[in-house]
Structure 1
Amino acid sequence: MSRVLLSKTLDPVLGVFTGVFAYYLYENNPRTAPPQEDRLVELLRWKWAKRGRDEGSRSAQDETVDWQAIVQEASKKE
């Protein structure tokens, strides 16, 4: 079993904080910063917009269902 550095609950919190802080420094350091369009916030906005478009197209496809054809097909099977 590995030893704990500070405490069993504080070690994971310290690890998450260190990771988030390191990523913040990576994105904001002038020498290592990625282009504006490749930053995490921009990529998340793109993904959310894509999800919204996909859900919109799915709902539009669901609205164009020919219910009369479905009812006729179901009545044929009876």
Structure 2
Amino acid sequence: MPPVLLSRRLDPLLGVFTGVFAYYLYESHPRNAVPPEERLTALIKWKYNKWRNEREQRLTAGNDDEIDLKALAVEVEK
């Protein structure tokens, strides 16, 4: 029975490793000639910068409606 339990954990890891390695080989092979702006690293950087800008906009927009914590504390004490 231990080989079955071992394979349940190793099969997904092997699958993820194989997929990541295959994608790396696809991007790095000279025959495919993937331009640098279409690689996965460029996509990740773009998405991260987009998320960070949206987050900054949300945080700065939230400062206009500051909550008066003292007033809330007084209401809770009532």
Shorter chain as normaliser: what TM range? 0.5 to 0.7
Q: TM-score, normalised by structure 2?
A: 0.66
Check if 1:43 corresponds to 2:43: yes
Partner of 1:19: 19
Unaligned runs of 5+ in 2: 72-78
Number of residue-to-residue matches in the alignment? 65
Gap runs ≥5 in structure 1:
72-78
Q: Which has the higher helix share?
A: 2
Q: In the TM superposition, what is the alpha-carbon distance from 1:19 to its structure 2 partner?
A: 1.0
Please give the secondary structure, in 2, of the residue aligned with 1:9: helix
Moved more, 16-25 or 57-66: 57-66
Alpha-carbon distance between aligned partners in 1 of 2:60 and 2:44, rounded to the nearest angstrom:
24
RMSD: 2.7
Q: 1:22 to 1:63 in 2, by over 3 A?
A: same
Aligned 8 A contact 1:26 1:33 in 2: no
Q: Deviations over 1:30-66 (max 9, x none)?
A: 1113210111111101111111100111111111227
Sequence identity percentage: 48
Does residue 34 (structure 1) correspond to residue 48 (structure 2)? The answer is no
Structure 2 residue 60 is matched with structure 1 residue 60: yes
